[in-house]
A and B are shown apart, each in its own frame.
Chain A
Amino acid sequence: MRLLAAVGILAASCCAQDREAPPPLGTPKAFALPAGDTFTLKNGMKVTLAQYGSVPLVSIRADIAFGKANESADQVWLSTVTLKLMQEGTETMSAAQVANEAARMGGQLQTGPGTDQSTVSIDVLGEFAVDAVKLIADVLQHPKLPESELERVRNDALRQLAVQLATPQAQASQAFTAQMFPGHPYGRMFPTESQLKAYGIGDIRKLYAENIGAQRTHLYVVGRFDPAVRKAIEAAFEGWPAGPAVKRTPPAPVAKGQLVLLDRPDAVQSTMRIGLPISVKPGDPDYLPMQVTNTLLGGSFTSRITNNIREQKGYTYSPFSQVTNRYRTSYWQESADVTTKVTADSIHEILFEIDRLRKDPPDAKELKGVQNYMGGIFVLQNTSNQGIIGQLSFIDLHGLKDDFLKTYVQKVNAVTRQDVQRITETYLNPARMTYVVVGDKGKIEESLKPYPPK
């Protein structure tokens, strides 16, 4: 009775004919990308400095062309362990001294293992920029890589491995990438315990020596800082040997229609990854059309898939699609955690939205909204210290031209309705996608028989 009595009470004031239109927009303000100054040291290390912002903070980050992509099949997470061990002190400072020195400047020195590139970074109060450069230089060039700490760091890695593999999201991502990149580091997200246990200090020091050096490093300094930083960088890094050249070995990805069902007994949700490798790389003519298409299809809150399976059906909380760009390799995926009993229904709706866009272009208004959204996100991405570094780093990794950022908004706005339909039809063929589902097998297996579609 309560339900019936309540119907319409809140809705009573809502009638279309009474609706007021939103006030008109103001005039857009100009947005200028922050100016950066990039130079190369004699040893090949690249440096980019950019003064930005109003608060006295600076972000310093060294990107190293080194990561999981450099691991052989018997070295999974060796790069991770190596980078962790780089936080355990230098030839002249103990780990505690490094931590205290970083804290004295208001920061924390962090190493970030990555796939195509890894980072060593610190964010500090601007007044400490010079000291922070010296600290990061010491950690990069003279890490102690102490054997005494290896067992502890290894044990931490074993614990983290176990914790991650208990999540359905890690299980799904592992299976998904393994299917797309067989035999390549991109497809080896997690090591086995026995692998981790086998790494010795010699393996780590060798990996460091073979992969970390000036030629593979690009240092970014963005924020408010003393211009003396430039000299400090030259002094701190010019003695670093050039080291190994950048080495990259892109995979030959596999796109084939298949269902991978991993049992998670009693799971209340099914965790899904649906997608495939795509041949569009950053810088290709279809790159921004692909980004626009993804944003419209599943990459924003108002996107078609999210609107369907969340806002209309209530199957899930945070579905999203994305294009991941590795070096010379990209893939598209839709990720979602959906209530168990609507697992197949959710896939059905996702494919319905893909198929709809493969057949018919979006209308002009919908496309314009997506283009405006991407223009706004672009401003947000370029108005924080770390965001700016992220953008510059992306350009560097993918070898893009200098005008990539300058022409970004203009090129996004040039994408047509027909482009979006063509992109979906060309690159997002459901019959060639991998469908990974982690869920209660007994409850969902039968309903998943139609997938992949023929």
Chain B
Amino acid sequence: MSHLTRTAVCIAALGAGLTCSAAAQPAAAKFTVPITYYKLPNGLKVALSHDSTAPLVVVGVYYNIGFRIEPRNRTGFAHLFEHLMFEGSKNLPKGEFDKLIEGNGGISNGSTRFDFTNYFEVVPAHVLETMLWGEADRMRNLTVTEESLKNQQGVVGNEVKVNVLNQPYGGFPWLDMPQYANKNWFNAHNFYGDLKDIEAATLADAKSFSQTYYAPNNAALALVGDFDEAQAKKWIEKYFAAIPSSKLPPQPDLSEPRQEAEQRVSKTDKLANKPALGIAYQMPPRLTPEHYAMVLLDQMLIQGDDSLLTQELVKKRGYTDSVDGGINLLGSQFNYNGPMLWIFNLIHDSSVKPDQILAAADPIIEGLSEKPVTKALLDRALVKLRSQFYQSLTQFGGFGRADLMASFALFDDNPALINSLEDNLRKVTPELALKTAKEYLRRTNRTVLVVEAGGAAKAPASTGGAK
């Protein structure tokens, strides 16, 4: 997913078999991820995982600041700031870090998510020290100018235009739904940002944001790949240890009230020519037994051709060609730290009404609250997760592994959680799945978003194609 991401070019550049996706969908494994974890005296969390499959190293620097808690009058600022992190630092003027990365055979990107902003490189193994030096330089000494701020305001404005404003279903449901479903501003504002807020950002804003959040005691560094651990530790000490920590503000109250009534909202998408429907349920708190149960319920309901709603809505009824969705559409079911939605969504024909679709889906969803799921269904959900977990570990040169390690370090102070996911998922019994479905798959716990098609299928006169 290229949304809220510094650049989309790596998809095109890498070609077959690789994408920029950060959407790990992990479960657990017999494959144990080796993890070394420690903290520098300034608070920087460091998680290392050696793997010599390929002569590559992934460097991930994750800051514990996402769009959720960006300043209230500066929607989209966390993401704009992500772009500014590429605009130069003391020893690397604008463009030089990119040249250092690409010019040495690597790729890089950054993404802004609910609860973190990340910066990562996938580079040939012998370039590791250079990357650590460069990441430390921009953690400590970012140098943004008026000119580069203005430039990136233009780039980010164009990012919002290409992904949202000039795109049918732009922002649906990943950007829209949290705004409708949530009550707390931190969870419910426009994360991409109003264009006028993006344009109003100043260097003073950037300085204040940088000093507050971009400090070692608010960050995690993850390395995955073919490196010598003792040597890597020395370099990390050398480049990061002297960076001063900051005084972090208290975390605001992110909680959502328990939802007691179904919400129905609608919007018109003037660029879309087919209606769409999105449905969001508030999730149980992360890493609780109920959360693990929801991870499995998601698999049963919408992940894969065998899933219950795909079979019902796609195969049996033909209401749509695909039921999409999941937990945390801008990441995975584990890499966030606050209230979250489980969402499913689909595009349908105008001859089918939203209530027809709900009438078909509800007995399936509510069936899970009426009697325990079968062992076969539960086992299939587990094996799908195990397979997806392995895929996430190997994805993109090992980036998926670094993403989980850094997230578990940042949010839980324990990257080794990556190795306990399977056990925790296996503890989910049909009874727990039933109890979880009863509380969290309640109709009164959901928001239904109806997207009306406002663009009456007006493609421009075709100059080619068939007749």
Contact = CB atoms under 8 A, between A and B. Distances in A.
Interface of A: 2-3, 5-11, 13-14, 16, 18-23, 25-31, 53-57, 73-74, 76, 87, 95-96, 98-100, 102-109, 123-125, 151-152, 155-156, 159-160, 162-163, 165-168, 171, 174-175, 177-179, 182, 187-192, 195, 260, 262-264, 267-269, 271, 299-302, 306-307, 310-318, 320, 322, 337-339, 368-370, 372-373, 375-377, 379-381, 383-391, 393-394, 438
A11 B145 contact: yes
A152 B104 CA distance: 50
A308 to B, nearest CB: 12
A8 B144 CA distance: 8
Nearest to A71: B466
Contacts of A388: 17
B383 interface: yes
Given A18-B90, A175-B463, A301-B98, A162 B13 contact: no
B124 A28 contact: yes
Contacts of B202: 2-3, 6
Contact of A10 (B100, B107, B207, B466): B207
Given A174-B462, A339-B157, 16 more contacts: A57-B387, A74-B466, A87-B305, A103-B306, A106-B384, A106-B387, A165-B457, A166-B272, A262-B461, A299-B12, A311-B151, A372-B102, A373-B103, A379-B56, A383-B397, A384-B394
8 smallest CB-CB distances across A and B, nearest first, come from A178-B464, A390-B16, A376-B105, A314-B154, A106-B387, A386-B17, A369-B103, A26-B126
B268 interface: no
A453 B403 CA distance: 47
B107 A5 contact: no
B356 to A, nearest CB: 15
B397 A103 contact: no
B166 A7 contact: no
Contacts of B142: 10
Interface string B433-467: 00000000000000000000001010111111111
A166 B103 contact: no
A318 B141 contact: no
Residue in A179, A372, A375 whose Cβ sees the most chain B Cβ within 10 Å: A372
Contact of A125 (B107, B203, B315, B386): B386
Contacts of A310: 155
Given A166-B271, A189-B465, A312-B151, A337 B162 contact: yes
A269 B161 contact: yes
Contact of A26 (B125, B306, B386): B125
B360 to A, nearest CB: 14
B455 to A, nearest CB: 6
Given A10-B142, A54-B51, A376 B15 contact: no
B238 to A, nearest CB: 9
Given A125-B387, A168-B166, A394-B16, A26 B102 contact: no
Given A3-B202, A99-B305, A268-B161, A26 B129 contact: yes
Interface stretch (B1-9, B60-68, B182-190, B329-337): B1-9
A3 B153 CA distance: 14
Contact of B459 (A76, A99, A171, A260): A171
B123 A376 contact: yes
A191 B54 CA distance: 44
Nearest to B27: A106
A337 B12 contact: no
A73 B152 CA distance: 45
B105 A375 contact: yes
B204 A5 contact: yes
Contact of B466 (A192, A269, A307): A192
Contact of A162 (B14, B17, B273): B273
A438 B125 CA distance: 43
Contacts, number: 363
Interface string B119-158: 0001111111110011000000111111000111111111
24 contacts: A5-B204, A10-B144, A10-B210, A19-B91, A25-B104, A25-B129, A26-B128, A28-B124, A55-B393, A102-B304, A103-B380, A107-B387, A125-B390, A152-B318, A167-B167, A299-B13, A301-B9, A302-B99, A311-B95, A337-B162, A373-B103, A379-B55, A379-B105, A383-B56
Contact of A306 (B9, B383, B388): B9
B206 interface: yes
Contacts of A394: 16
A317 B166 contact: no
Nearest to A84: B321
A162 B151 contact: no
Contacts of A30: 55
Contacts of B462: 174-175, 178, 190
B347 interface: yes
B284 interface: no
Contacts of A5: 204
| Residue of A96, A162, A384, A387 contacting most chain B CB atoms (<10 Å) | A384
Among the interface residues B54, B130, B155, B348, which one has the most CB atoms of the partner chain A within 10 A? B54
B464 A188 contact: yes
Contact of B53 (A3, A53, A106, A389): A53
A56 B202 CA distance: 50
Contact of A166 (B204, B397, B457): B457
A20 B91 contact: yes
A121 B389 CA distance: 19
A102 B306 contact: yes
Contacts of A160: 321
B143 A11 contact: yes
Nearest to A392: B16
Contacts of B156: 317
A363 B409 CA distance: 44
B124 A379 contact: yes
B168 interface: yes
Interface in B1-58: 2, 7-10, 12-18, 29-31, 51, 53-56
A100 B376 CA distance: 10
B349 interface: yes
A371 B226 CA distance: 22
B122 A269 contact: no
B93 interface: yes
B165 interface: yes
B173 interface: no
Contacts of A302: 95, 98-99, 102-103
